[in-house]
Amino acid sequence: MIEVLSRLRYQFDTMEQSKAVEVSSELSLQLSILIDQGRLYFPNVMRECHGQHKQPSRQGYRSFVLDPLVAAFKISKGTALYFDVSGGNARYGNNMYSRALQVYQNAFLSFIETVLLIQKTHDSLIKRLDETGDSINASKLKSILSPENKKDPSPRGAEYWLGEHGGIPNEADIIGATTKPGKPS
C-alpha cells in the first residue's frame, strides 16, 4: 500500500492533475485491489445498520482504516478535492492533490501503527529481553526503538547520517554499542 500511495503521489506531484489521472490507471487498479484485500483485515462494521440489500461483504460501513485509501483511489480517478494542505509545507508536495495524497498516506500509516500495536510490541520485546537477563541487548533495542537520552532528547535524524555533525556516521553512536578495550569506537 505504501509503495502504491508513494508512486501515486509522485505522479500527482510531477504532473498536472488531468495528466496524472490519465497516466495513473495502473496505480488506480493496484490501489483498488489493495483496498479490497484490506477488507479481509478490516471488514465492514455495523453490518446490521446499513446496506442489508448488499452482498454480505459489502453490508455495513467500511472500516475507517480504509477510508483514506478510498479517498486516494477517488483522486486517482479524477475526483475533485475540497481542501488544500498548504501553509508553506512544501514537503507535502507541489499541488493540492499530491499534498492530499500525503495526508492520506500519513493517516493510513497512523491507523496501521495503532492497529498493529507497534509501540506496545516494542516495549514488550524490550521487557522480555530484560526479564531474561539480556540487559545489554534490551538497552540497545530500547535506544533504537524508544530512545530517551536525556542529554540529547531528539533522534539524530538524516543530518547525522549526512555527516553534518562533523564526523563519520556510526551505528554504535546510536545503539550505545560497547567496544572491546583498546578498540576505538
Look up residue 43 and give its three cell numbers: 471488514
- Return the pLDDT at 60: 87
Question: Residue 8 in contact with residue 24, Cβ under 8 Å?
Answer: yes
Look up residue 99 and give its three cell numbers: 499534498
Separation CA 123–CA 148 (nearest Å): 13
- Return the pLDDT at 158: 77
12 phi and psi angles, rounded to 5 deg: -75, -25
Instruction: Please give the model's pTM, rounded to 2 decimal places.
Output: 0.76
- Return the pLDDT at 105: 96
Separation CA 83–CA 105 (nearest Å): 16
Nearest partner of 31 among 92, 111, 104, judged by Cα: 104
Separation CA 102–CA 99 (nearest Å): 5
Q: How many residues does the chain have?
A: 185
Q: Which residue ranges of the chain lie beneath pLDDT 70?
A: 87-89, 148-156, 174-185
Give pLDDT tens digits for 5-48: 999 999 999 999 999 999 999 999 999 999 999 999 999 888 88
